Structures are given as C-alpha cells and as structure tokens.
Amino acid sequence: MGPDLFDHVKNKNKTLSDFLRPETLGDVVGQKHLLGKGKPFRMLLESDRLNSIIMFGPPGIGKTTISRVYANMTGSPFIQLNAALCGTAELKNAAAFHGDKKPIIFLDEVHRFNKAQQDVLLPFIEDGKIRFIGATTYNPMIYIVPALRSRSMIFELRHIVEDEVAEFVGTLFSGGRLLEYVRTQLGYAGASKVEADEKAVEYISRSCNGDIRVMMNVLETALIMCCAEEGRKPDGVVMVTADDLRQVVPEKIAFYDRDGDEHYNTISAFIKSVRGSDAQAAVYYLARMLASGEDPRFVARRIVILASEDIGMADPRGLQIAMDAMFAVEHIGMPEARIILSHATIYLATAPKSNSALKAINEATEFCERHPDLPIPACLKNVKLDDKSAPGYKYPHDYPNHFVRQRYMETDAVFYRPTTIGYEGKIAKYLTEVTKV
C-alpha cells in the first residue's frame, strides 16, 4: 500500500487562497477599471469615504477580497454574512456592533434577501452606524430593491481575462510565496524551489476561466500531489506540470449559470448576433450555451421567436425552418440536436431581416388599447356561414386580381408597413400594384 497522499499535510492550517490573500489594492488581480490609479472606486476606498456600495460580477473575481483589503486599510471591524445562511436577526446584531470604529458589514449573495429583508438595512445605512458592502453575481438593477439601490453606489467587477490570470500565476511562481506555502503549510520543509513549465501556466490560466478562487483551488491540489512522497525530487524542486493540472481539472470550467445573469447575457448575445446577420458569432454563442449544459429546447424556442421577430416577412420560410428545428430537437435530443440548431441558426443569421410583423402587432395592440370599442363594419359581421351573403360584402375572388376596395375597419390607421428587403419586397410591390385597381 502506497503512502497516504495527505500524511504530509496534517499540520496544514491555511488554504492557498487564505495564505495568498491580497493585503493591498495593488495585489488584487484584474479590475483595473475600478482599482487603477485615480479611479473613483479606488479613491473612495483610500479616502475611507465609503458608506454603502454594491459590487456585482461573476464569482471568484475579488468582491470579498476587495472588501477585506478595505477593512485592513481602515482598521475597521469586518463582519461577513451570507444572505443564503442568515436572516434579519443576524443582520441587526451585526449592525448593533459597539466599538470605536463603524463596522463594515459585508453581505454576500445579497440578492437572496427578499424586499422586506433588504429594507431592514435602510435605517442602519441612513443613520451612518455601519458601512455596508453588498456582493452579488446578479444584476442589482433587477434583484436589489430600489430603496437600497438609491442609497448605494453600484460598481461592476468584470470577468478576469486569461492574460491577467497568466500574469498573476507567473508572478506566483517567480516569487517566493509558493515556496513558503509548501514549506510551512504542506510540511515539505526540504523544498528548495517551486516551479511550473510554460504549458502548466497556460493550462491553469485557461482552465479556471477567470475565476481566481478556482485557480487557487486547482493549484493547491496540484501542489499537494507534487509534494507527495513519490513526487518529491532529490534536489527538492517541486515541479508543477500541465499533466498534474489535467488530473485536477480535465477541461475548462465554463462560467454559465442557467438561472443567473450569464444565462440571459449569452442568449441575448446569440439573438443579437442572428439579428445582426453575424453567423460566426451566432454559432459561437450557440456552441457556448450547449457546451455549458443549456437545454437545447430552450434555444430552439428562442429561435422560433426570433424567426418571426427579426426575419419575419423578409423570409417567411425562416419560421418554418425554426419550427422544424424545434420539432427535431424535441424528438432527437443531444448531441445530434446541436447540428439541427446550427442549421437553423445559420439560415436565420444569413436570411434577410424585417421586424415589420413585430412592429405591426405592437402598433395594433397600442391602437386597441386607445380604441377598445371600434365598431366592426356591418358587411364583415357573421350573418350566415356563407360569408358571401353578408349585406354589402364584396367577395374579393369575384373581382380582377382577386381584390376589391371595401372598408374592413372603421379607421385609416396603418399597422403593417412592408420593407423592400427579401421576399417582403415582393409583398410591397404586390400591394402597390393591386391597390391601383
């Protein structure tokens, strides 16, 4: 029986994330748009003028870290709560903190609080007894109540790009902090150096997908593996390779929350790419959704909607193709359904575009709201099953070109305005010609 992989880490008392937690704003990875020199957010923190802020953005990009750094900078008590695990009682207890300096109350996942719970914060923020920091991965304009938003400054933290992660990882291996961690926390006192080859740096930077917390966890596990008895080198060099990392995380971790903002952001980008006739981008976002586990039936339904909303009468076949795709996806399933969705996506992206159907129904709906009781002409009313027998009704098929002028509604309002794009150009030409009769 081989050695226990974790025998040498029984004295471990800090995770790599805790051990390397930034102590200054300059140590935070990414967020240069907020933390760069002279940026308003950085100036707010450095001048200790914070009262209430909400930070939002993807997980693992520094919301908690920045808050802790701010607390250290100002010497303020830091009270960390999670809205998924606490209620208003814990919040009130934290706000009632007695000390020389106002506490910083950091409420993670603040979007999980309902309106009544969020409202509990308001009096404490208004009387200045606390400094409040709310953190969320959701859009605060939707999930945070207006009263709390109006009392807070809102800052968006952005996804950390691969180059920024790679620069940070390279700094870790070129410095001495990883060696110190291996010696003091993993118990490998004989370690002389911690190194990683270029492919390893590239792999971990790519695989974590901008989530520094994930990157730290992957690197920590790889270091534990490398420090195991069978992995130690005689010269004490701990070498992390891409193969080590593949054992920890075999593929890229996609940030895609099917119930959160990224879900809606991606489908929005997909729809707008089709609308913008960019087939390359549309197929990319389709692949991104499917690779992240999105329900292909959801995508198919959205394709049906945009077939009428954005292609419409410019190519009426688009709706039929979208409907056929939805039917096929329902009955075939993945992975083959991805080909069908790609087929429909490319067709619609490269088809001529018209939103006249959308505009027509919107204008007609608004007109109906203003004029709910517009009378129906007598000749159009249902007198008998034979619609030719209605008094005064002119049967179009009895006239040249199967068209005859008569009043179909008691208004001259125009709702449908055909464009000259694609098939709709033929419709516009037909309507122009036939109405000359």
pLDDT 10s digits, 234-253? 677 878 888 878 877 765 55
Whether 88 and 169 map to the same domain: the answer is no
In which element (H, E) is residue 54 found? strand 52-56
Residue 16 domain flag:
no
Backbone angles phi, psi at 343, to 5 degrees: -55, -50
In tens, the pLDDT along 155-207 reads: 888 888 888 888 888 888 887 888 888 888 877 777 778 888 888 888 888 77
User: Distance (Å, rounded) from C-alpha 156 to C-alpha 140?
Assistant: 10
Partner residues linked to 107 by β-bridges: 81, 134
Whether 147 and 45 map to the same domain: the answer is yes
Continuous H helices in 276-310 = 279-291, 296-306
Residue 136 domain flag:
yes
Whether 152 and 35 map to the same domain: the answer is yes
Looking at residue 310, what DSSP letter applies?
I
Instruction: Supply the pLDDT for residue 229.
Output: 55
Q: What b/e sequence results for 302-323 when a residue is b if at least 16 CB atoms lie within 10 Å of its CB, and e otherwise?
A: bbbebbbbbbbbbbbebbebbe
Question: Residue 4's pLDDT band (boundaries 50, 70, 90)?
Answer: very low
Distances (CA, A) of 300 to 261, 269, 343, 422: 20, 15, 11, 24
Q: Count, in order, helices (H) and strands (E) of the chain.
A: 20, 7
- Cis? peptide before 58, omega within 30° of 0: no
Looking at residue 102, what DSSP letter applies?
P
Whether 35 and 80 map to the same domain: the answer is yes
Whether 283 and 337 map to the same domain: the answer is yes
Instruction: Supply the pLDDT for residue 1.
Output: 38
Q: Which of 299, 363, 288 is nearest to 328 (CA)?
A: 299
Instruction: Supply the pLDDT for residue 177.
Output: 81
Residue 89 domain flag:
yes
Whether 115 and 176 map to the same domain: the answer is no
CATH number at residue 391: 1.10.3710
In this model, does residue 385 exceed pLDDT 60? no
CATH number at residue 148: 3.40.50.300
What single-letter amino acid sits at 255?
F
Partner residues linked to 56 by β-bridges: 136, 156
Mean pLDDT, residues 70-78 taken together: 86
Residue 177 domain flag:
yes
Tell the residue number behind the tokens 């002279």, with chain if given: 38
Task: Please count the structural domains in the chain.
Answer: 4
Residue 231 near residue 225 (C-beta atoms within 8 A): yes
Looking at residue 162, what DSSP letter applies?
H
Residue 239 domain flag:
yes
Report the 10 Å Cβ neighbour count for 182. Answer: 24
Continuous H helices in 292-336 = 296-306, 317-332
Report the 10 Å Cβ neighbour count for 43. Answer: 11
Question: What is the dihedral angle through the alpha carbons of 69, 174, 37, 16, rounded to the nearest 10 degrees?
Answer: -20
Q: What b/e sequence results for 409-436 when a residue is b if at least 16 CB atoms lie within 10 Å of its CB, and e otherwise?
A: eeeeeeeeebbebbbbbebbeeeeeeee
- Average pLDDT value over all residues in the chain: 81
Whether 42 and 129 map to the same domain: the answer is yes
Instruction: Supply the pLDDT for residue 102.
Output: 83
Residue 387 domain flag:
yes
Tell the residue number behind the tokens 């997909």, with chain if given: 270
User: Distance (Å, rounded) from C-alpha 145 to C-alpha 362?
Assistant: 30
Instruction: Supply the pLDDT for residue 315.
Output: 92
In tens, the pLDDT along 295-353 reads: 888 899 999 999 999 999 999 999 999 999 999 988 888 888 899 999 999 999 999 99
Instruction: Supply the pLDDT for residue 11.
Output: 47
Instruction: Supply the pLDDT for residue 240.
Output: 81
**Which of 23-37, 171-185, 378-392 shows the lowest per-residue confidence on average (mean pLDDT)?**
378-392
pLDDT above 90 covers a percentage of the chain that reads: 11
Last residue of a domain, one of 300, 316, 350: 350
Whole-model pTM: value is: 0.57
Whether 196 and 241 map to the same domain: the answer is yes
Q: In terms of residue numbers, what domain contains 285? A: 261-350
Last residue of a domain, one of 335, 350, 365: 350
Residue 199 domain flag:
yes
Whether 221 and 265 map to the same domain: the answer is no
Whether 393 and 428 map to the same domain: the answer is yes
Question: Residue 261's pLDDT band (boundaries 50, 70, 90)?
Answer: low
Question: What is the dihedral angle through the alpha carbons of 325, 329, 335, 340, rounded to the nearest 10 degrees?
Answer: -10
What single-letter amino acid sits at 137?
T
Whether 173 and 147 map to the same domain: the answer is no
Residue 340 near residue 328 (C-beta atoms within 8 A): yes
In this model, does residue 2 exceed pLDDT 50? no
CATH number at residue 205: 1.10.8
Terminal Cα-to-Cα distance of the chain (whole angstroms) = 96
User: Distance (Å, rounded) from C-alpha 214 to C-alpha 204?
Assistant: 10
Instruction: Supply the pLDDT for residue 3.
Output: 42
Last residue of a domain, one of 156, 190, 217: 156
CATH number at residue 273: 1.20.272.10
Whether 54 and 116 map to the same domain: the answer is yes
Residue 406 domain flag:
yes
User: Distance (Å, rounded) from C-alpha 67 to C-alpha 55?
Assistant: 10
Backbone angles phi, psi at 175, to 5 degrees: -95, -165
